[in-house]
């Protein structure tokens, strides 16, 4: 065994796992494109300041979880821990806003956060997500929520829960935060050290604390931001719920859902599923009307979501029942037969578009037959020296066990029929 192992919180994806990953990836691309979203790919590392300014200096991601370093040129760089800030950076850099009023972008990418690894939580993980940049209207929020929800329905994920809230526009924040700070001040000494810091620097983050004592205290004492949102914010929220009702998407209004990134305004949402266990958040997102301006652009409304791919795959039930998709297993016996067998495998791939596994270990007939059975191939082709002399090949239907002999010259036509 090698002395080298994957780094804590990272994992290899082996061929059997890649089958389902590839299927999930293909489905995500086609679902996103069906809704008019165009794929965007951004570099794996960015300027550290992009995340500090975008996500917020007092968030868990920026304070504890980023992989950052200074390169040989003195540049402060960070492996991307999320994709909304890089997508907005790209939107601004390429002046996308100048040529069209709305941009619908999606991604499937790998990210890095130095979190405590556990099931469904890695240090390198994948996300897919969508960002709709340009519309301030609630139908855009509803479309984004529906987009995420439909993906989970498409994969038949059970026990879905959509939690939804509004944290209002940025204008109401200072007044609300004053109220929150002054209420919590009296019980400050009962909170954990991190929450005491949060109270000073970014009080909204008090709602993110995982410590059960802090959660109880916050539940009991903290005023809810939803009670401070404006009349317009209410109308925006109510319209989203109306559209979700119209679409038959069930949701819960969770007034404590503020989300752990600073860029959110108005809508926040998460979709969870109890099939996942402790890390039950399949995806999260919301509106971020201030982020584009904060990163140097014109004020531009935007809304989006991102979803963990590992969590989606964990949630897909009966994964092992997903067929491996092998069409043909080609068994061959004898040195003289090998060149013809290799050519047949190639021709069947080329002219029939089939997935063909060719035996290359020169195992016994019995061992090859066993392997063909294990491979879940739909048919097995058997070519021995006798068959080669007679210019025929044996075709076995793996489901029925029926075997027949077909002239080699008619094989392609037979498979295609």
- Determine contact, residues 348/412, Cβ cutoff 8 Å: yes
Q: Verify binding: residue 121, ligand HAM, rule CB under 6 A.
A: yes
Q: Verify binding: residue 283, ligand HAM, rule CB under 6 A.
A: yes
Nearest Cα neighbor of 226 from 250, 204, 197 is 204
C-alpha to C-alpha distance for 225 and 112, rounded to whole angstroms: 30
Nearest Cα neighbor of 281 from 107, 124, 127 is 127
Distances from the Cα of 227 to the Cαs of 17, 168, 183, 241, 242, in angstroms? 46, 10, 15, 17, 20
Q: Closest distance between ligand HAM and the C-beta of residue 86, in Å?
A: 10
Residue 154, phi-psi category: left (phi > 0), alpha (psi -120 to 50), beta (remainder): alpha
Q: Verify binding: residue 304, ligand HAM, rule CB under 6 A.
A: yes
Positions in 58-87 near ligand HAM (CB under 6 A) = 82-84
Q: Verify binding: residue 164, ligand HAM, rule CB under 6 A.
A: no
**Dihedral sign, Cα of residue 295, residue 297, residue 299, residue 301:** negative
Question: Residue 195 or residue 282: which is nearer to ligand HAM going by CB?
Answer: 282
Q: Verify binding: residue 208, ligand HAM, rule CB under 6 A.
A: no
What 3-state class would DSSP assign to 297? coil
Q: Closest distance between ligand HAM and the C-beta of residue 294, in Å?
A: 14
Query: Closest residue (Cβ) to ligand HAM?
Result: 308
Q: Verify binding: residue 127, ligand HAM, rule CB under 6 A.
A: yes
How many angstroms separate the first and last alpha carbons of the chain?
Answer: 48
List 306, 333, 345, 356, residue binding ligand HAM (CB under 6 A): 306
Stretch that binds ligand HAM, among 117-125, 239-247, 340-348, 355-363 (CB under 6 A): 117-125
Question: Residue 118 or residue 416: which is nearer to ligand HAM going by CB?
Answer: 118
Q: Verify binding: residue 105, ligand HAM, rule CB under 6 A.
A: no
Tokens of 42: 């951004």
User: Which residues of the shown chain bind ligand HAM in the complex (CB under 6 A)?
Assistant: 82-84, 113, 115, 120-122, 125, 127, 129, 131, 261, 281-286, 288, 304-308, 310-311
């Amino acid at each position: 065994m090698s002395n080298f192992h994957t780094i804590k919180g990272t994992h290899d994806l082996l061929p059997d796992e890649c089958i389902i990953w590839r299927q999930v990836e293909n489905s995500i691309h086609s679902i996103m494109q069906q809704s008019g979203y165009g794929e965007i790919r951004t570099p794996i590392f960015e300027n550290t300041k992009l995340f500090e300014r975008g996500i917020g200096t007092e968030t868990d991601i920026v304070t504890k979880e980023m992989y950052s370093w200074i390169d040989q040129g003195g540049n402060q760089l960070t492996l991307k821990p999320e994709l909304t800030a890089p997508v907005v950076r790209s939107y601004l850099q390429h002046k996308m806003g100048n040529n069209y009023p709305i941009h619908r972008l999606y991604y499937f990418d790998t990210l890095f956060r130095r979190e405590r690894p556990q099931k469904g939580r890695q240090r390198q993980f994948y996300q897919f997500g969508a960002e709709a940049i340009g519309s301030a209207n609630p139908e855009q929020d509803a479309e984004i929520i529906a987009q995420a929800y439909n993906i989970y329905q498409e994969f038949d994920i059970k026990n879905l829960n959509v939690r939804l809230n509004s944290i209002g526009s940025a204008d109401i924040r200072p007044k609300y935060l004053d109220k929150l700070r002054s209420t919590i001040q009296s019980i400050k000494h009962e909170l954990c050290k991190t929450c005491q810091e949060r109270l000073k620097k970014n009080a909204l983050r008090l709602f993110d604390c995982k410590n059960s004592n802090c959660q109880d205290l916050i539940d009991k004492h903290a005023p809810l931001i939803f009670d401070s949102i404006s009349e317009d914010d209410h109308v925006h929220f109510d319209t989203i719920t109306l559209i979700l009702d119209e679409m038959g998407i069930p949701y819960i209004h969770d007034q404590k859902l503020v989300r752990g990134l600073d860029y959110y305004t108005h809508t926040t949402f998460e979709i969870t599923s109890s099939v996942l266990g402790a890390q039950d958040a399949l995806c999260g997102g919301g509106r971020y009307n201030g982020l584009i301006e904060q990163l140097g652009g014109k004020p531009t409304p935007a809304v989006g979501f991102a979803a963990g791919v590992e969590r989606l795959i964990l949630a897909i039930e009966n994964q092992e029942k997903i067929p491996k998709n092998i069409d043909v297993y080609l068994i061959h016996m004898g040195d003289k037969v090998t060149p013809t067998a290799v050519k047949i495998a190639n021709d069947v791939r080329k002219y029939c578009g089939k997935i063909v596994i060719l035996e290359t270990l020169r195992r016994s007939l019995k061992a090859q037959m066993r392997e063909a059975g294990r491979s879940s191939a739909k048919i097995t082709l058997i070519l021995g020296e006798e068959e080669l002399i007679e210019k025929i090949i044996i075709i076995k239907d793996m489901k029925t066990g029926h075997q027949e002999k077909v002239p080699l010259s008619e094989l392609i036509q037979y498979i295609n029929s």
